[in-house]
Amino acid sequence: MQGLLTVLLFCATVCVISSEKLRFQKNAQDNLKVINFNQREENSGPYEPNWDSIDSRPLPGWYDEAKFGIFIHWGVYSVPAFKTEWFWRRWKDGNPDFVNFMKDNFKPKFTYPDFGPMFTAEMFDANHFADVLQASGAQYVVLTSKHHEGFTNWGSNYSWNWNAVDMGPNRDLVAELAGAVRSRTKLKFGLYYSLFEWFHPLYLKDAGNNFTTNEYVEMVMKPQMHELINEYKPHLIWSDGDWMSPDTYWDSVNFLAWLYNDSPVKEYVVVNDRWGKDDRCLHGGYYTCQDRYDPGVLQAHKWENCFTIDKSSWGYRRDATITDYLTMDEITQTLAETISCGGNLLLNFGPTHDGRIIPIFEERLRQTGEWLKVNGEAVYGSHPWTAQNDTLTKGVWYTTKDGFVYAFVLDWPENNSLDLGSPIPSTGTVVEMLGVKTPLQWKKSTTEGATINIAFPVLAGPQLPCDYAWVLKISMV
């Protein structure tokens, strides 16, 4: 009789464990429906020059796995370094702040191209930039090759005497950074390129013809894009300056068909959605939709949130104050919100005219890297979970990877007690805090709407794994 009871107890235990495993496996399978939200039907090409074909190309997997990149805005606008990288446009439009700035600080006949020789980059050390990028924890970097002012950071044959080799630094800044990044880091190297130029005579001529002519595209834009791709072989093309004219003017589908079929980067290159005035959030590779795009909910298509450490400017500016810079709480919050909803985060800074990363930018980048050393497990290669943020407690965002659920807790809970409403625990559930060796205690919560109560560890000072956005690793939910 005792032997029979033993067998029955063993069978009951196995049944409970098996039931929990089945429930866990079912949840994991349900999660896969969300995890694969970004995948498209496989199409290995060749790609035809139309949006149906171009949009059918699967997004190279490295981009979604990366999750976090760095954006660098650097150009002649770093010389006046006043208010915005749109300095030339604002000044020409007669904005009083810019008109008065020039009147107070420069001779009467001074022109914007006169800033060109002052963009010197004599302090630029590409190796130092690469080391800081590596320390930031980013997996890719995007450098501005040309912004709307038209100045190219490489020696373009189609921007005579308005490029970094012919004037100013007299150096190929794109080549130097690309070389340092590739030799010293594991980051993927990408390039930003502005399709249009505010004041290029050929562009203004085409615009005056209501874009029925395309001399600028054929003689400047397309040749420059081919230069960049054939010479520097970027992993990513961040197109911009598209909004004034349709993609037919830019000849976007023909360019992308060449890029995907015949270019030297066809196997791995990633592009965004800025290829014509009606294309954002509709065509291209991943979506950016608008600057600082942060929908706060799960999207059906891979997307990117690009935003800048200086809240008011993408380029370096001298008139910034300490409150103009994002705090680490703000950076980690935005990172958690973005990746929980299926996006990548592209964090921007602007170097100075002489090629330095100012201390507060370097500090933020290194702080982000230190945070990622502890919590990168929940970021890199992760996917959205069935819930993006908690149904009960604000400031908690979720990702999943390898069967685990990760909860980004933006604020340390009062009395070290956290109620959550989205994870449903099982008897086999284990809760850990990344960076803390001992598993955390948990119980089923008695709070209305809560499913689990987690006891945060009693830690102080150096015992804390990080100073902001603590991450819980939860199994069997």
pLDDT above 90: residue 306: yes
d(CA 398, CA 412) in angstroms, rounded, equals 16
Residue 32 in this model has a pLDDT that exceeds 90: no
For a pLDDT cut of 90, what percent of the chain falls above it?
A: 88
Sequence-separated (6 or more) residues with CB below 8 Å from residue 104: none
Q: For position 422, what pLDDT does the model report?
A: 97
Q: Is the pLDDT of residue 16 over 70?
A: no
| Cis check: omega of the bond before 46, within 30 degrees of 0 | yes
Record the pTM: 0.91
Amino acid at 190: G
Lowest mean pLDDT across 37-41, 118-122, 417-421, 423-427: 37-41
Q: What pLDDT shows up at residue 10?
A: 38
pLDDT of 6 higher than 90: no
Report pLDDT digits (tens) over 383-425: 999 999 999 999 999 999 999 999 999 999 999 999 999 999 9
DSSP string covering 385-447: EEEEE-SSSTTEEEEEETTEEEEEESSPPGGGEEEESS----TT-EEEETT-SSPBPEE---S
Q: How many residues does the chain have?
A: 477
- Using the predicted structure, report yes or no on whether residue 272 has a pLDDT greater than 60: yes
Give the range among 40-49, 380-389, 452-461 with minimum mean pLDDT: 40-49
- pLDDT of 55 above 60: yes
- Kindly state the tokens that stand for 462: 């150096």
What is residue 44's predicted lDDT score, i.e. its pLDDT?
80
Query: Residue 38 pLDDT > 80, yes or no?
Result: no
Q: What pLDDT, on the 0 to 100 scale, is given for residue 461?
A: 80
Mean pLDDT of the chain: 92
More reliable by pLDDT, 11 or 170: 170
pLDDT digits (tens, 9 = 90+) for 194-244: 999 999 999 999 999 999 999 999 999 999 999 999 999 999 999 999 999
Q: Is the pLDDT of residue 343 over 60?
A: yes
Whole-number Cα distances in Å, 95 to 89, 90, 147, 476: 9, 6, 20, 59
Instruction: Tally Cβ neighbours within 10 Å of residue 359.
Output: 8
42 band by pLDDT with thresholds 50, 70 and 90: low
